[in-house]
Amino acid sequence: MHEAPSETQLIEVDALGERLSALRLCEGDALAGMRRSLEEQGQLSALVLFSLTGELEIIDGFKRVRAARALGWPTLAAHVVSVGTIDAKLRLRELHEGRGLTELEEGWLVRSLYREDHLTQSAIARLLSRHKTWVLRRLMLVESLEPSV
């Protein structure tokens, strides 16, 4: 899944899609912190995007984009990677390996790969380097939640 980094380019913020945002938590405090950071220091790291049916979608940088929109910034620096939807979801997880996704976010990722991309639980386990019982537990976690959560 690793590839040579793409060239950094300025991308119009209003043109970015957020289809994968359903796989991430975005708390108000974290968003406020990102807004302060952008105001005080500017953009410190480029967004990571992929193209889906001709539209640019965010893999990494949801808080930066939302904060930039709130500040009225027209563009942000970004890398566009050539991956499909499944690999974009796996890249999202990979980009957060250091901090890690929460159990809930892992569950949303598993459910998305299972329900939307129609992968088997065994295939998901292989892709995520996990045991298939881990996949089942994450799936059960999110599917047992009240839909309003």
Q: What is the pLDDT along the chain (149 residues), one digit of tens a residue?
A: 555 556 899 999 999 999 999 999 878 788 899 999 999 999 999 999 999 989 999 999 999 999 999 999 999 999 999 999 999 999 999 988 777 789 999 999 999 999 999 999 999 999 999 999 999 999 999 999 877 66
Instruction: Classify residue 2: in a domain, yes or no.
Output: no
- Please give the pLDDT value at position 6: 67
Tens-digit pLDDT profile for residues 80-105: 999 999 999 999 999 887 777 899 99
Query: DSSP character for 145?
Result: S
Rounded to two decimals, the pTM is 0.89
Task: Identify whether residues 87 and 111 lie together within a single domain.
Answer: no
Domain that holds residue 113: 102-143
CATH code (residue 57): 3.90.1530.10
Task: Identify whether residues 94 and 115 lie together within a single domain.
Answer: no
